[in-house]
Amino acid sequence: MSSQHCDVLIIGGGIVGLCIAHQLLERQITRSITIIDKEPELGRHSSGRNSGVLHAGLYYKPESLKAQVCVAGARRLRGWVEERGLPINPCGKVIVPPRAELDGQLELLAERGRANGATVEFLEEQQLHKLIPEALSASGRALWSPNTVVVNPSRWCNGCNRSCSSRGSGSLQQLQAGGFSRKSAASALPMTASSHTAISTTALGSRPTGWLISMELGSTTACCLSRVCIGNSSQAV
């Protein structure tokens, strides 16, 4: 059985797991990181199959944590994508009411958007048709969010993995967990690759005890202690 040792083991190579690795490297906490995933490629599930929309911040209550994370996160992620030349579609977004009585919701969204730092603009029917000829508004007007953009989530996952790999992290795909053990300050997670080659990855913990998360990797349930991070939130129980 071959062994691979790391300071931090991240289970799940989706957006959350990759962001954890990126931030650990960005903050210079450690360069010894391993990301494992049961699929042959990272981001094969919801992380790589979502709409990829970076919302401008129209929907959340001003000063709420969601509003702060949405606006600041969208700006940071857009800058990150543009710096690395990854695909991005600065298409903007148009919001139209399907019923006339919902026109007031446009005012609410505009008010929230401006309070959150987003750029919004009301469009009259003629302006709407010029921008999107097929669009219909029950009230005759629409709300335009020019800073809403769309990225390719799969390409982002690959780009983030390349960025992390260039700074020291590694990734292992198509692995099935084969149990979990803890010896002194280290936590060991034996795994089997698709080629049936056994690999033992050890994550070192800075404390004798750590937090416990139960997760499912493939068909095997494992308990992850200390600095073994859950990267796929959909798998956390």
Q: How far apart are CA 192 and CA 199, in angstroms?
A: 6
Q: In this predicted model, what pLDDT tens digit does every residue of 50-92 receive, in sequence order?
A: 899 999 999 999 999 999 999 999 999 999 999 999 999 999 9
Q: What is the pLDDT of residue 233?
A: 38
Instruction: Report the pLDDT averaged over residues 136-146.
Output: 95
Q: Are strands 198-204 and 186-193 parallel, antiparallel or unpaired?
A: antiparallel
Fold classification of 2-50+170-235 is: FAD/NAD(P)-binding domain (3.50.50)
Distance (Å) of CA 20 to CA 17, 114, 143, 152? 5, 31, 35, 19
The answer to whether 179 and 187 are in contact (CB under 8 A) is: no
8 pLDDT higher than 90: no
Share of the chain above pLDDT 70, in %: 70
The number of C-alpha atoms within 13 Å of 112 and in the hemisphere containing its C-beta is 20
Distance (Å) of CA 182 to CA 33, 176, 185, 207, 209? 18, 18, 8, 12, 10
Helical H segments across the chain, by residue range: 15-26, 65-83, 103-115, 125-131, 153-165
Tell me the pLDDT of the chain averaged across its residues.
Answer: 77
190 pLDDT higher than 60: no
Q: Which amino acid is at 86?
A: L
The answer to whether 171 and 11 are in contact (CB under 8 A) is: no
| Domains of the chain by residue range | 2-50+170-235, 53-151
Q: 186-195, long-range: CB within 8 Å, 24+ apart, which pairs?
A: 187/9, 187/224, 187/225, 187/226, 187/227, 187/228, 189/9, 189/36, 189/222, 189/224, 189/228, 190/1, 191/36, 194/40
Q: In this predicted model, what pLDDT tens digit does every residue of 146-183 receive, in sequence order?
A: 999 999 999 999 999 888 888 877 665 555 544 445 55
7 pLDDT higher than 70: yes
Q: Are strands 141-145 and 170-172 parallel, antiparallel or unpaired?
A: unpaired
Instruction: Specify whether domain 53-151 bears CATH 3.90.180.10.
Output: no
Q: Which amino acid is at 61?
A: K
Q: In this predicted model, what pLDDT tens digit does every residue of 196-214 receive, in sequence order?
A: 444 445 554 433 222 333 3
